[in-house]
Each structure stands twice: as C-alpha cells, then as structure tokens.
Amino acid sequence: MNKFFLDLGVQPLANNFLKKYSAKQPKYNLKLYFNTKSKMVSISKRIPSSVMFNSKYPYRSSMSSTMRTSFKELSSEIKKKFNPKLLLEIGSNDGALLNNFDKDKAIGVEPCKNLAKITKAKRYYTYDDYWDFKLSSEIKKKFKEVDLIYSANTLTHISNLNEVFKSLKLILSDEGCLIIEDPSLLECIKKNSYDQFYNEHIYVFSAIALTNLLKKFNLEIFDIKNLPTHGGSLRYFIKKRSNKKYNVKFSVKKQIDKEIKNGLDKFITYKDFATKSTKSKKLFLEILKKIKKDNKKIIGYGATAKAVTVLNYCNIDHDLIKNFTDTTPEKINTFLPGKNIKILGYKKDILKKYDYAFLGAWNFKKEIFAKEKNFLKKGGRFITHLPLPKII
Ligand code: DWN
Ligand code: SAH
C-alpha cells in the first residue's frame, strides 16, 4: 500500500528553463509516498517522459570536473574488472562516460536528441530513443547480447520499472553485469535532502527496495559501493541469479543492515523526514528574510533541479534570491523554473557583487569552494539548506 508522507507543493518541470519568465508555465503536485510492501519511495504525479526529456533538455553530465572524474575512474574499473566486449549505457547524456571507451566497444541510449547528437558526432553508436522493451529488442537484433550495461541517474526517472527490468534482462548476457547508480535514499534521509525529489526523480532507491524489485526478475545485487557523488549515491552491481561467475559480497548485507538500522523499511522514518523538511523550510525563509532586511544580496550558485524543488517548495522568488549563476550554456539567460529569477552565465568574480551565495549545487561543494576561494577570502559567505539551513 502507498502511504503519503510529504507534500512539496506545486512544482514546475525541473528542467524547464524558459527564455522569458512565465507565471503560467505548467506546474504539478509533488507528493511523496512510501510503499509499505515493496518499501519503494516514489512521487505520485507521473509526467510522460516525452514531456520532460525532449530535444531541448539542458542538463549536461560533463559540466563538473567531479562527475567527469567519477565516470573516468569507473571506466578504468570496468575495463580492469569486466573487460566487456560491448558496453551499453542507458541515459548516456552528453557522453561523459562513453568518452572513456573505444567507439566500437560502447553504445548509448539517450532520448534527448540535442544530447544524443553530441555522442553521435563522436561516432558512438547512439539510439536517440526511450528505454523500453521495443528498443531492447531492436538492440538485441543488431548487437545480440550485451555483457555490461551501465545506467546512472536514469532508471529512477522511468515510471514503468517492470518494463525497464524486463527489457534489461532480455539483452543482458547470462554471465553479464548490470551496474546502476543513483542517489541513496539513506543519504537523502540522513541529510534531509527533500530536494532529491522532483518530477524527474520518480523514485529514490534504497538497497532494500531495489532487492525486492529485482527478485521479480530473478536478478540480484552482488556488490554495492557507496559514492560521494550527487550528495551520496549507491552503485549497485547486479547479475542474473543463475550467474555463478560472481559471488554475492558482504557489502550487500552491510548496506541493507544499515538501512534497516536507520528505519528505511518503516513508515515512521518518512513521517520524521517530512517533519524535518517542514522545519527546514521555515528556517531557510527566516535566514533569507533576515539577509534581505540587512540589505544584503544573495545569488544562487548552480541552477540545479534540486534548487528548483527548494525554491518552489519554500516560495522563494527574486526579492530573496536576486539571481542564479550556472556554467551550462543552455541555462544561461533563462529563468529558474517556476521563478522570476534570471540565471547569469558564470564568470570569474561574478560573486563579487553579492554578499551571499546559496549553494544550489551543494553536491559539488568541494569543487565550488576550491573555485571560489577569493569570494570566501573577501568575506563572502555560502548558505546551505542541508541538513538544516545555515550560513557556512
Ligand atoms: O538525476 C539527475 C542529475 C544527475 O542531474 C537529473 N534528473 C537532473 C540533474 O540534476 P541537477 O540539476 O540537480 O544536477 P547537478 O549535477 O547537481 O547540477 C549541477 C548544476 O550546477 C549544473 O547546471 C552545472 C552547475 N554548476 C556550476 O554552475 N558551477 C556546477 C558546478 C560544479 C560549478 O562549479
Ligand atoms: N547518466 C547521466 C545523465 C543523468 S540525467 C548522469 O548520470 O550524469 C537523466 C538522463 O536520463 C537524461 O540524459 C535523460 O535523457 C535520460 N532519460 C530519461 N528518461 C529516459 C528513458 N526513458 N530512457 C533512456 N534515458 C532516459
């Protein structure tokens, strides 16, 4: 049974960066639910993939050195440990991972045509389509089986998980490995990052919920790695149950035990999370209003999907946060979804004109702090909303 635990208000599409602000842009309810049987956490309103992921999708994986490095390191690990004849990436975006593989050894699936174009131009065989059974059958016809499938921050974006895994099973070889990587629900609960929920993030996986789901397909997790990326992610190594090539490692039990210890299998945990999120909203508004009263100026740093959730949930507009800055060409000179806040292109010393910078891209704090030493030296301060709002 799905039990409701948090209402994040009405939210625009998290990546609908408009050239002209419009108060009339489509908005949808964002409500969070916990399934008491499968233990899956999800949002209720499902927006068709074609509406969210189109030929103007602005998010580019390669925009941070942190992620470029993470994908590079993973690529070396994959080559060393698995040495795949063929790697298939689902949600290959602008090729941040594919770029590390030979062109005849890696193929991509990326439905956003503007992004698929980038890897196609580099001669990586790229399907600009949505992952489903039809596409999987098509790939199987051309490439037969695949011995390594990788997908980061993508499967949680697809509503029909039954079709997702049925399609994966169809094409994964008997001795093959499926690696998926997504924000960790445990880290999200611990950090109180309610902003991991937006219309694209239909699910936030826990190892518990994913194990339950995989059972239906005779698939199992055989290793789990905790990663610092995106505020704390889990990388799951998955195989067919019949595949005896890999042993199930202790890391799997360790993660599940940790999740149980932190109550991820119990509804009360999510009720507590909701209470903390409401408190977080109140505190954040108090901090921003105090800064405004003192006639100081705030800029948002990193126009992330997460920041869209925060600003729309907390009803923050340009009277409290003047502008945002972002390095993504497609986001520059547009407005933060749902808000009349203009996004300025990043240039060195842009922060000079502001007293505070709200860390929209809090998951890249280390990278950003290293880059903005001058701002900090000259007395500028960052504001974060996690785990509870504060000036740092
Ligand atoms: O799951 C998803 C993740 C992987 O990416 C998607 N559904 C949507 C998107 O979520 P996000 O927008 O919250 O992702 P990021 O990776 O936290 O976005 C970082 C943003 O900050 C980018 O727009 C680039 C920008 N940035 C910047 O302007 N200066 C980032 C860094 C590190 C910087 O120094
Ligand atoms: N894998 C990248 C990109 C994550 S952003 C990374 O980790 O940085 C989410 C990606 O999922 C987008 O590139 C989007 O186009 C892709 N996506 C969304 N729905 C999809 C679907 N049904 N099939 C395949 N890819 C999808």
Tell me the pLDDT of the chain (392 aa) as tens digits.
999 999 999 999 999 999 999 999 999 999 999 999 999 999 999 999 999 999 999 999 999 999 999 999 999 999 999 999 999 999 999 999 999 999 999 999 999 999 999 999 999 999 999 999 999 999 999 999 999 999 999 999 999 999 999 999 999 999 999 999 999 999 999 999 999 999 999 999 999 999 999 999 999 999 999 999 999 999 999 999 999 999 999 999 999 999 999 999 999 999 999 999 999 999 999 999 999 999 999 999 999 999 999 999 999 999 999 999 999 999 999 999 999 999 999 999 999 999 999 999 999 999 999 999 999 999 999 999 999 999 99
94 lines ligand 1 (CB under 6 A): no
Pocket residue to mutate for ligand 2, from 62, 88, 90, 93, most atoms within 8 A of Cβ: 93
- E strands, the chain, where? 2-12, 27-35, 41-43, 87-90, 106-109, 125-127, 146-152, 172-183, 203-204, 219-227, 233-240, 298-301, 323-326, 342-345, 356-359, 381-384, 390-391
Cβ atoms of residues 39 and 209 within 8 Å: yes
Cα 375 from Cα 225, distance rounded (Å): 35
First-last CA distance in the chain: 41
Cβ atoms of residues 194 and 43 within 8 Å: no
161 lines ligand 2 (CB under 6 A): no
Cα 155 from Cα 327, distance rounded (Å): 26
As a 3-state breakdown, the chain gives helix, strand, coil percent values, each rounded to 5, of 40, 25, 35
200 lines ligand 1 (CB under 6 A): yes
Cα 205 from Cα 245, distance rounded (Å): 26
CA of 290 to the centre of ligand 1 (A): 28
User: What atom of ligand 2 comes closest to residue 151's alpha carbon?
Assistant: 1
Cα 176 from Cα 285, distance rounded (Å): 50
330 lines ligand 1 (CB under 6 A): no
> The pTM is what?
0.97
64 lines ligand 1 (CB under 6 A): yes
Give phi and psi for 89, each to the nearest 5: -110, 130
Cβ atoms of residues 177 and 130 within 8 Å: no
363 lines ligand 1 (CB under 6 A): yes
Ligand 2: which residue has its CA nearest to atom 14?
91
Question: 3-class DSSP state for residue 87?
Answer: strand
Cβ atoms of residues 110 and 116 within 8 Å: yes
pLDDT for res 360:
98
